[in-house]
Amino acid sequence: MLDQILPLYGMETAGNNVQLFGDGLINRTWKITTPTNGYILQQVNQSVFKKPHDIDRNIVALKSYLSKTHPEYLFVSALPGLSGDSLMETPEGYFRLFPFVENSHSLNVLNKKEEAYEGAKQFGRFSRLLNDFDVKKLHITLPDFHNLTLRFNQFTVAVAQASGQRKEKSEDLISFIMKHADIVTTYKKIVEDKEIPQRVIHHDTKINNVLFDQENKGICIIDLDTVMPGYFISDVGDMMRTYLSSANEEETDLTKINVRKDFFKAIYDGYMEEMGDVLTATEKSYFTYAGKFLIYMQVIRFLTDYLQNDIYYGEKYEGHNLERAKNQVTLLERYLELEPELEEIKGKITIQ
């Protein structure tokens, strides 16, 4: 297949090293190493991103803005092919070619609070540099991606339509979700509150979407397909969900799931170092809520998929999404237990 794609960029497979690259679950990715340069070739997953051209238009618009306002910022965008286009439409699908950032690496596991700080700082910097960009110019690449009201409604429908067996196995989790439906009520308030603006938000702030240098200092963020208008709680919440626990969402030993308070402080420090002068006072009051928002939504998404016979995430073993939901419920329980302490930690930090 790549024999037909690489010539669109003036390259051939012969004489170049081509290998699958990364751990991404959505797009297929290859690293192309030529005698002089390195590149990342990516095929857009059209089953997830229905309108690849909208992604391309967003990135082109952001690149144009940043090149004028902050030319020093490393914004990793797709390179033009021989046609001049940065998105290649072929019979095999849609492709983009990116420059490989030399002397950089990404992390799949966070072991140090300093890494969490660097990641949060990079995502905060991205939104800060784009604070004056007209967010209405961005296309919605994943409609309702973080719409908690919609996710909750989908969950209630899934419960009503689920098989008796799956509903019985989910009984405790269903009760937990309903018990904490106030998280949905708060989300609705945020959406309705005119003091909570929509911003340029990444929406997928896992640590492997940050590039680090050889000294483990953040360089920039990557994987910009989900960049679109949103609320800051999406980026902060996703960092809380994926940075705080030393165990990831696949862990089935629930005793290993924890909330590292020093990592919470690192996220706050890093993000607010960049966004402290940008966020409104009302936004800042929802910083700790952001963690509840995103973890709760992921509980709902995993359990909804289980109740609907695993049609979205699929499963690697029987009950996979049920176990994932239990994992996230445990994380949320730990978070809720520590919420007063987390608020206290936030209150002691001097960044305003």
DSSP 8-state secondary structure symbol assigned to residue 78: P
What's the pTM value of the predicted model, to 2 decimals? 0.93
Structural domains present in the chain: 2-99 (3.30.200.20), 113-348 (3.90.1200.10)
pLDDT tens-place string over residues 308-326 = 999 888 889 999 999 999 9
212 phi/psi in degrees, rounded to 5: -115, 155
Instruction: Name the average pLDDT for the chain.
Output: 94
**How far is Cα 252 from Cα 330, in angstroms, rounded to an integer?**
10
pLDDT tens-place string over residues 209-254 = 999 999 999 999 999 999 999 999 999 999 999 999 999 999 999 9
pLDDT tens-place string over residues 106-153 = 999 999 999 999 999 999 999 999 999 999 999 999 999 999 999 999
Look at residue 349 and tell me whether its pLDDT is greater than 70. no
Residue with tokens 């669109």: 8
Other CB atoms within 10 Å distance of the CB of residue 243: 24
- SS3 of residue 15 by DSSP: coil
Other CB atoms within 10 Å distance of the CB of residue 177: 24
**How far is Cα 260 from Cα 341, in angstroms, rounded to an integer?**
12
Look at residue 302 and tell me whether its pLDDT is greater than 50. yes
